[in-house]
Structure 1
């Protein structure tokens, strides 16, 4: 009997981990960190539900922390098997995991110096050595991979570079795990491949209860222009992977069309700069993941005023540049990284604007800003929020409700069961109801640690 256990992303939009067991074989699909509210983050510190040394393999759909960020902890606890991913995911995950380890260690140092941790002494969840050990386990592949009695195939998901959805065949059954699905109109990446015939589907539901509006280029142009006219800075907390590249592509287009002034555009995130190099290499190599118009045109990421910030000293200088500018910095939900220093300096100023171009998990600083927080706690101190705060969810790289339903409906035949995961409870419930009503399929919202038969 083959079973599936939901070790994460069941009741929350983070921490994706799905355990498949068949006889003596154990395969984990995705290995994400929990993020956001304290009730979820604390789960990162809980003992893993099984002995990690008994896992035969981990399959990673893509390189975002909520899908791969727990790998160093898993390795620290004894996992030594292969990590299966696409080549693009292996390359980007190395950047993400190294940065995550750096931030974990840095945050522990800040907490130790500031005395605001509940732990004494504050410890990182994992360190650089754990991250390097996890990176060495990656076994990238573009085709089918045999895993003992099982076999996994990765298909293009169009969410970020290297992203995939996974189809695992075991004991005569086929399980599809969507990972994060991209959008048909992603400005850089080709859309997701269509799903094959399977018996069971795990589908994400980040935007399962919402519909994306088309990107309003004129609105963003007005926002940037009016901020510049009042002498302010536009700060964009952005995910280092993909979102920074997408925003640069958008700004390059707006400047080429004369819709915004030629402001300096600073990218201030070591991880974003490393990821930008990967995206630029993909353009140069004419990657099959990219849209043809992206690889055949001008530099898609340089508006002509691009400034890449490498050192901490440069980072401190542009926290208050003294003239209108655009600053893109990570992390995208303001959970850590250099963006916190920019927020601390820019949030008190009424002339400035903070643009949040993507989903903000409950419990993060980004979500607090969207919800109207009047003060934000940064490095143990509260900072007043007087800057203009704007959310632009249309820049999300996640498929919305209609796109998810359309993608599911393109399957050659209905699956026996669809498990709706990786979403807040309301989003999961709405998408499950749509699957039942629109497709007449069986859709379930599983509970954390629930175990089912495949």
Structure 2
């Protein structure tokens, strides 16, 4: 395809993580998203493979939002030679620095733990990248506003449109040469609990749409009745409620919901502990955004109103929570229990029948959260199996991913019909289901690309 604009699906195909899409044309290489693979080992191993093209031949990177499966490979790309600008919204810029610094710290710590405990098959175990690698990538970040065309190179413009997923999340329109491509990024629901709603981006000849929930429909909202019932039951038997929650957006939404449930008298006023330094930093970012008027009009400037709210900033404070006087609520990252402080709490609380784990959203295949959701009787952590005796429930109302109907509605609202829609960022069944629904309801040309597949755009 030499001399023509093309798109190569380097990641985010056949799985819901690792989003990476390479646009080439006119001697210009642009990488849209630079995500980590997460979940099953077959996918995580790909993080260690050589990048499909030399990183020093990529001119620009554009990031849709701050979640690791969309930005988490950036420090490795920079370490391997990429030194061009990384474009994102201003909101994403502030959050991505928090996310990548934390991810690098966790990788360094996990490598050290593996060395100390001897449970890694690698000798010596090394992190994918370090905190220093993450810090070097920050100098390349370029923040841009929503709904404004930015010429990143002669003949190439990008435009960010609100995606309503997390703070700063965007759909990205790219025009380069004869190609016009729209990347949905992760799309939120039509109404986010605290953020301003998603927008409608410009039309494009080629649309790349996510399909995380491409094969399902969210249930009708009940005002977090599942969460409230679980808390009341657990408190009644003297147990601890553990809520694994992503530090960015999900923790903020959980605290917002707990504030509302407490205010309405639907749950008792037990102590609530936030055990994630990254979540505390992200909460500050959300509060500053609220003060700037970036939230819905009915959301107050503080977002959270919990008189019994406590924080665990240090590792010592985190470990002390496992011997805290019950009952209480612990909110800790990560949201799929794939790493971070929540793993230590699970190790302590899962054997206790009084306790309850409340899952708050999508759980990717291969994660501990998915295993719990699927009814695992034991869970492996740090080389040991732990029995699962605690109650496990799922509150689906926290999801800020559009479901199948909402994804189709986003496509239907585009100002022009695209020539081709590519369905990505979903497990295979979800992607195929969404593609079928697009064909049936919109009668558009739609494909589910293979990993590594390359298509022509001009």
- TM-score calculated relative to the size of structure 1: 0.98
Specify the alignment match of 2:213 in structure 1: 207
- 1:31 match: secondary structure: coil
- 1:215 match: secondary structure: coil
Q: Could you tell me how far apart the structure 1 residues matched to 2:9 and 2:322 are?
A: 42
CA apart distance, 1:222: 1.4
**Residues 159 and 181 in structure 1, CA contact (< 8 A), matched pair in contact too:** yes
Deviates more, 1:375-384 or 1:419-428: 375-384
- 1:293 match: secondary structure: coil
- 1:212 match: secondary structure: coil
Q: How does 1:310-325 map to 2 (within 5 A)?
A: 310-325=313-328
Q: Does 1:122 align with 2:122?
A: no
Specify the alignment match of 1:95 in structure 2: 98
Which of the residues 434, 437, 441 maps onto 1:438? 441
Which of the residues 223, 241, 250 maps onto 1:243? 250
Q: Could you tell me how far apart the structure 1 residues matched to 2:79 and 2:275 are?
A: 30
Q: Could you tell me how far apart the structure 2 residues matched to 1:21 and 1:123 are?
A: 33
**Residues 253 and 303 in structure 1, CA contact (< 8 A), matched pair in contact too:** no
Q: Could you tell me how far apart the structure 2 residues matched to 1:326 and 1:429 are?
A: 39
Q: Could you tell me how far apart the structure 2 residues matched to 1:285 and 1:412 are?
A: 30
**Residues 226 and 395 in structure 2, CA contact (< 8 A), matched pair in contact too:** no
Provide, for residues 322-367 of structure 1, a one-character-per-residue CA deviation record: whole Å limited to 9, x for no partner.
Answer: 2111100001111111101110110000000001101111011111
Specify the alignment match of 2:175 in structure 1: 169
**Residues 227 and 358 in structure 2, CA contact (< 8 A), matched pair in contact too:** no
**Residues 420 and 432 in structure 1, CA contact (< 8 A), matched pair in contact too:** yes
Q: How does 1:366-377 map to 2 (within 5 A)?
A: 366-377=369-380
Deviates more, 1:25-34 or 1:388-397: 388-397
Provide, for residues 158-198 of structure 1, a one-character-per-residue CA deviation record: whole Å limited to 9, x for no partner.
Answer: 10001001000011321000110011232101221013211
Q: How does 1:262-281 map to 2 (within 5 A)?
A: 262-281=269-288
Give unpaired runs (5+ residues) of structure 2.
none
Specify the alignment match of 1:218 in structure 2: 225
CA apart distance, 1:114: 1.5
Specify the alignment match of 2:63 in structure 1: 60
Specify the alignment match of 1:198 in structure 2: 204
- 1:146 match: secondary structure: strand
Q: Could you tell me how far apart the structure 2 residues matched to 1:311 and 1:47 are?
A: 36
What is the aligned-residue RMSD (CA, Å)?
Answer: 1.0
Q: Could you tell me how far apart the structure 1 residues matched to 2:280 and 2:304 are?
A: 12
**Residues 233 and 323 in structure 1, CA contact (< 8 A), matched pair in contact too:** yes
- 2:449 match: secondary structure: coil
Which of the residues 107, 118, 122 maps onto 1:104? 107
CA apart distance, 1:380: 1.2
Deviates more, 1:201-210 or 1:298-307: 298-307
Provide, for residues 58-95 of structure 1, a one-character-per-residue CA deviation record: whole Å limited to 9, x for no partner.
Answer: 00000000000000000010000000000010100000
**Residues 195 and 407 in structure 1, CA contact (< 8 A), matched pair in contact too:** no
**Residues 336 and 370 in structure 2, CA contact (< 8 A), matched pair in contact too:** yes
Specify the alignment match of 1:252 in structure 2: 259
Provide, for residues 278-316 of structure 1, a one-character-per-residue CA deviation record: whole Å limited to 9, x for no partner.
Answer: 0011111212xx11111xx37321322111111111111
CA apart distance, 1:420: 0.2
- 1:433 match: secondary structure: helix
Q: Does 1:154 align with 2:154?
A: no
Q: Could you tell me how far apart the structure 1 residues matched to 2:230 and 2:390 are?
A: 13
Which of the residues 234, 240, 256 maps onto 1:233? 240
Q: Could you tell me how far apart the structure 2 residues matched to 1:441 and 1:46 are?
A: 35
Specify the alignment match of 1:303 in structure 2: 306
**Residues 8 and 18 in structure 1, CA contact (< 8 A), matched pair in contact too:** yes
- 1:134 match: secondary structure: helix
Aligned residues: 450
CA apart distance, 1:144: 2.0
CA 304–298 in structure 1, closer or farther in 2 if over 3 Å, else same: farther
- 2:81 match: secondary structure: coil
